[in-house]
Amino acid sequence: MDTATALLKRIETCEGTVRAFTTYDPVRIRMEAAQAPAGPLSGLSVGVKDIIDTVGYTTEHGSPIYAGNHSRGDAACVTQLRNAGAVCVGKTVTTEFAFFRAGPTVNPHDVTRTPGGSSSGSAAAVAAGMIDIGLASQTAASLTRPASYCGTVGFKPSYGRYAAAGIKSLAPSFDTLGTITRDVATAARADAVLKGPVATTSHLSPTVPTRIALCRTPHWDEAGEGTRHAVEEAARLFGAHVDVVELDLSDFSDAASLHITIMSYEASQALATLHNPEQKEGAGYIAFPNGNTVVSEDENMFLSKTVKHARPLVIIERDAFEIMISDTTEKLCPIEIVVAETILFHRDSTDGIRVGVNDAVNVIPRAMNGTMQSKAGRIGFILSVTQ
């Protein structure tokens, strides 16, 4: 069975239930598969998050404002993947502008539960076996959360490692392109292509780690029992082979609130003209949903400098370890995703589905899945499952 036929058969079997795609074209899939050049990604299929420009398909950013919008060209990442021999299958569902209301996608492991967002379609399509690589993005947890909920490998690389040209921006200080795959090996193959000839971080290679950090974050006590168990079990399994050291991150307890403040301000700037294109009212200020906090542009600049000052502190601490293990989500996959019609998200959740995990590092006696972390030419990963 040729690549295109196998792809279409799997999509035909799953898509009616999972609803991971905004659009795909069987004719175009067959054409791309037949014409794809030989390269490092030959035989692999790619789904593109619908905030990324893609020739041959609409790019609607999950919003009716952009209904029927066609890109003038491919985003840099799409060009790189196509030139490397990958077949672009179609566009995957995103929450609106990778931030607001959720799309129709369900979790392939249990259709009553959320796949997570905002990269919901990419994670669900990979988990269902409809694509090999899902292009995704992250400004807060938009890649790692759906990767966790869908039992896949989410690779959120270092900021700036991949080219951002042709991707709808939400908060430039944090926007990061990444991938969702079923195994670490495929993520590494995609990384070798997407990082291009020059990257801000080094080449990934499968080096066995020697020291691992177990990070109990400032919100560790808020995590559900299933989440804490998964992280501690991962540390136990790693501990049979390498040193596992607990890392206290309490000094960064304010990081989440700083992140939300800056992200909300930048998102308001990025999206301000879409609701009212005639004028940019209050462009220098953003009112938060609770009505109590207003951040001026000057205050935002101060907060940005604060975060930039904190980054070297994190790097210094991190450089003592090859791998850092931490929880990705507070609780197991919730029944449904609830997104408020405001700048901030509704974050309530309940314990939910338990999913299997995939091979990540061959020194682990039991299969495990996670978010890879690149450092000094090694492949590591931050645990990204709730089991």
Active site residue 142: yes
Q: Residue 114, CB half-sphere, CA atoms under 13 Å: how many?
A: 29
Active site residue 120: no
Element (H, E) at 89: strand 87-92
Nearest to 93 by CA among 135, 148, 37: 135
For 376, list phi and psi in degrees, rounded to 5: 50, 45
The CA-atom distances, in angstroms, between 352 and each of 115, 121, 144 are: 11, 19, 17
Query: Dihedral sign, CA of 29, 30, 32, 33?
Result: positive
Residue type, 73: G
CB 143 within 8 A of CB 136: yes
Active site residue 45: no
- Pick the catalytic residue: 142, 268, 326, 349? 142
- Pick the catalytic residue: 45, 63, 118, 268? 118
The CA-atom distances, in angstroms, between 58 and each of 92, 320, 334 are: 11, 45, 30
Nearest to 167 by CA among 243, 80, 103: 80
- Pick the catalytic residue: 45, 49, 119, 375? 49
Q: Which residues pair with 214 in a beta bridge?
A: 246, 325
For 318, list phi and psi in degrees, rounded to 5: -70, -35
Catalytic center residues? 49, 118, 142
